[in-house]
Amino acid sequence: MKAVILAAGEGKRMRPLTYERPKVMLPIAGKPLIEHLLEEVKEVGINDFIFVVGYHDETIRDYFGKGKRWGVTIQYVMQKTQLGTADALRRTEGLVEDKFLMLNGDTIVSTDDIEKVITEDVNITLGVIEVRNPEDYGVVETEGERITKIHEKIRKPPSNLINAGVYLLNESIFETLSKTAKSKRGELELTDSLQLLIEDGNGIFWKRIEHWIDVSYPWDLLAANELLIERISPVNKSELEENVWIKGKVSIGEGTVIKSGSYIEGPVVIGENCEIGPNSYIRANASIGAKCHIGNAVEIKNSIVMDGTKISHLSYVGDSVIGSRCNLGAGTKIANLRFDDAPVKAKGLDTGRRKFGVIISDGVKTGINACIDAGTVIGNNTLIGPGAFASGYIEENSRIF
């Protein structure tokens, strides 16, 4: 059996973090989102993958290659214009045989749940899960073991069961894909294709899954990171100077140096070729990428820091996502809590998080003693000057002094 993973989209709700990379390549617990998914699929014994790529496809191709590092084979199919999931799947016609697994690349499901779906002795099965906010997803109506109707993001959903983006399909789907019309959103949607099959009297079955991580908005990365970082295996390939304390599950990559006086409190992931400290405090749920420099007396807590970023001495980063190649000047402080203890808003939306710091995209620089308010979102290559205060939504290439 082959696995088709849809990975062509940008992830517009993830902006500005997706200006330079597709959503599926955003890092969680030290790995791109799609890598976590690949590893779960491989555990059920599937080693042949087809990645449907499009937006910034080179970042996926360069990272995964042909899949040799993971002991799998990966073929790539290009969807130049993102016209919807049905169009994406149609690109794989002729590459899959008989039954195959298809997944949305921007969600993570467990090996056990994947196995539930693919072992069904039927032609088409959907993995479904119950959620509190079904209006944000494709909702399914069921009767017994069968799905009777699929709705795509409606205001008053008839149930809390949603399509979790895990499909057991077969070659017959391709004929239906060719008959699928554009939706109101102007896309060719796989859910419409499946609804056509239902209306033609074809049985589509469902299987309830238990473990599902959906990442829709930038702050969802933190929730996903908190869940996945608990699964890491403690590995230490670093050079430790004297008086370094490591507590709990911590994974540190090769070539990294942890300088004297630093305290690391797991679960924590630190990538390769980093320099940490001296006297840094890396707290639980911190995920630090490769080639990062975390300076003297810096505290990082429950945050994702991407590759090549430097956070200079006497700075604080909490409950935040920091992009790649950023440089936070000495004394940069990030607020992560409102005075009234209400959930923090970002981009005009309720993050649902009482503690939430900032989203800083790639190439942002701050001067010494810069302060950034809770819920602030900062676009690529923005400069925030010494002593400046940043708040709200800040467009890319801005200058704040």
9, 38, 29, 37: which is closest to 21 by C-alpha? 9
Backbone angles phi, psi at 149, to 5 degrees: -160, 145
List 36, 56, 151, 313, catalytic entry:
313
Entry field: residues in the chain: 401
The candidate with the shortest Cα–Cα distance to 362, out of 378, 377, 380, is 380
Distance CA 10, CA 381 (A): 19
Q: Work out the number of other CB atoms within 10 angstroms of the CB of residue 273.
A: 16
Angle between helices 111-118 and 33-42 (to 10 degrees): 60
**Count of CA atoms in the C-beta half-sphere (13 A) of 324:** 14
How far apart are the C-alpha atoms of 50 and 355, rounded to whole Å? 39
Residue with tokens 């290009």: 78
What tokens appear for 312 in the block? 């200079």
Residue 197: DSSP 8-state: H
- Grouping H, G, I as helix, E, B as strand and the rest as coil, residue 249 is coil
E strand or H helix that includes residue 177: helix 173-177
Strands 161-170 and 125-130: what pairing? antiparallel
Annotation marks residue 313 as catalytic: yes
User: Partners of 281 in the beta sheet?
Assistant: 263, 299
Burial class (CB in 10 A: 0-12, 13-18, 19+), 257: middle
User: How far is the C-alpha of 16 from the C-alpha of 382, rounded, in Å?
Assistant: 12
* Rounded Cα distance, 74 and 286, in Å: 31
Give 242: exposed, middle or buried? Use CB within 10 Å, 0-12, 13-18, 19+: exposed
Query: Which residue is associated with the tokens 């799905």?
Result: 147
Is the bond into 16 cis (omega within 30 degrees of 0)?
yes
* Residues annotated as catalytic (active site), given as ranges: 313
